Amino acid sequence: MVNKMITNTAQETELERLFQAKIDTEQKIEPKDWMPDAYRQNLIRQMSQHAHSEVIGMQPEGNWITRAPSLRRKAVLLSKVQDEAGHGLYLYSATETLGISRAEMITALQTGTAKYASIFNYPTQTWGDMGAIGWLVDGAAICNQVSLQRTSYGPYARSMIRICKEESFHQRQGYQIMIELAHGTPAQKEMAQDSLNRFYWPSLMMFGPHDSESAHLARSMKWKIKRETNDDLRQKFINQTVSQINYLGLDHPDKALQWNEERGHYDSSELNWDEFYSVINGNGHCNRQRIQHHVKAHEEGAWVREATAAYNLKKQLKLARDAA
């Protein structure tokens, strides 16, 4: 017995060495490969959280579909929200290759054991928020997702490539809303400024806590689940957003923002981390509403799933009858 255990451990060590060697040489890990259990769990956590974010992210924008200012705007917004549903599907399916079921993931979301991006717990108060979300929230998501196209898990990397292709339309349509408002009447410009002020900071928080505070970072980098750190990605986003804000002619929400020649980056204000943790832990404006709505939609959709099952049964019975 003891001998067998030693052999198992030795085997495991060898498997882990081969696994790490694949990762070190930039080879992808595929579903049927051996992988350490912690790698699998880490991916399930990150990928399902990503999938939940896509799905919950439909709510703040769905709020404005019926009130979009023109038919064209309505069609564009509807199309974007449809894309988010599709992205959720890609990611749930990719996560399922790790051996967790869709139902388990949905339950984890609805009972609060799984998280989603905290940005979606902020309310969408004006049409300007549709602009700011597309531009900043999707922009921050793209920054992260472009990096994840090189993640070490094959199905995750491939979903990211698919998603990034579709995502750039999301950011551009948002920025176009901002251009029109910012270059419009004084009231419209004010609306754009207000949306920028409210969504700028939570967008920066989307990259997660500082590297020094991030519980999973070191291991995620070693396993190449993450390819760039939270702080590096956040810096990238801060840098590229400056000229976009300038072009709109709006005031930058960060009064302390300053170009640092030595670093080759913008220095910026510290984020309100108390707010970040408070929203993550369920105390944002909309946390309860988002989950309640998800549960309600899921329950109200039960008859569709039942009808599908009934139809399938009917077809099978007919098949059996015809065969007899």
Partner 1 sequence: MTIEKLELFEVFVRPKRGLDHKHVGSLHAEGREQALEYARDVYTRRTEGISIWVVKSQDISASQEDDNECFFDPSDDKPYRHATYYPLPKEISTM
Site string for partner 1, 270-309 (x = CB under 8 A): ----------------------------------------
Distance CA 261, CA 272 (A): 26
Listed ranges 21-29, 45-53, 304-312, 316-324: which one lies at the site for partner 1 (CB under 8 A): 21-29
Q: Given the complex with partner 1, which of 35 and 286 has the nearer CB atom?
A: 35
Site for partner 1 in 171-200 (CB under 8 A): 171-173, 175-176, 179
Taking the complex as a whole, the smallest distance from the CB of residue 29 to partner 1 amounts, in Å, to 8
| The only residue of 136, 157, 192, 286 in contact with partner 1, by rule CB under 8 A | 157
Do residues 232 and 217 touch, judged by C-beta distance below 8 A? no
Q: Given the complex with partner 1, which of 145 and 287 has the nearer CB atom?
A: 145
Listed ranges 96-104, 107-115, 237-245, 277-285: which one lies at the site for partner 1 (CB under 8 A): 237-245
Burial 288-316 (b: 16+ CB within 10 A, else e): eebbeebeeeeeeeeeeeeeeeeeeeeee
Distance CA 240, CA 244 (A): 7
Q: Given the complex with partner 1, which of 129 and 167 has the nearer CB atom?
A: 167
Taking the complex as a whole, the smallest distance from the CB of residue 254 to partner 1 amounts, in Å, to 19
Listed ranges 42-50, 68-76, 200-208, 255-263: which one lies at the site for partner 1 (CB under 8 A): 68-76
| The only residue of 8, 9, 11, 27 in contact with partner 1, by rule CB under 8 A | 27
Listed ranges 39-47, 69-77, 90-98, 224-232: which one lies at the site for partner 1 (CB under 8 A): 69-77
Do residues 261 and 242 touch, judged by C-beta distance below 8 A? no
Taking the complex as a whole, the smallest distance from the CB of residue 244 to partner 1 amounts, in Å, to 6
| The only residue of 243, 263, 320, 324 in contact with partner 1, by rule CB under 8 A | 243
Q: Given the complex with partner 1, which of 172 and 222 has the nearer CB atom?
A: 172
Listed ranges 170-178, 219-227, 279-287, 313-321: which one lies at the site for partner 1 (CB under 8 A): 170-178
Number of residues that bind partner 1 (CB under 8 A): 29
Q: Does 203 bind partner 1 (CB under 8 A)?
A: no
Three-state helix/strand/coil letters over the chain = CHHHHHHHHHHHHHHHHHHHHHHHCCCCECCCCCCCHHHHHHHHHHHHHHHHHHHHCHHHHHCCHHHCCCHHHHHHHHHHHHHHHHHHHHHHHHHHCCCCCHHHHHHHHHCCCCCCCHHHHCCCCCHHHHHHHHHHHHHHHHHHHHHHCCCCEHHHHHHHHHHHHHHHHHHHHHHHHHHHHHCCCHHHHHHHHHHHHHHHHHHHHCCCCCHHHCCCHHHHHHCCCCCCCHHHHHHHHHHHHHHHHHHHCCCCCCCCCEEECCCCEEECCCCCHHHHHHHHHHHCCCHHHHHHHHHHHHHHCHHHHHHHHHHHHHHHHHHHHHHC
Q: Does 312 bind partner 1 (CB under 8 A)?
A: no
What residue ranges bind partner 1 (CB under 8 A)?
22, 27-30, 32, 72, 75-76, 79, 83, 139, 154, 157-158, 166, 168-169, 171-173, 175-176, 179, 240, 243-244, 246-247
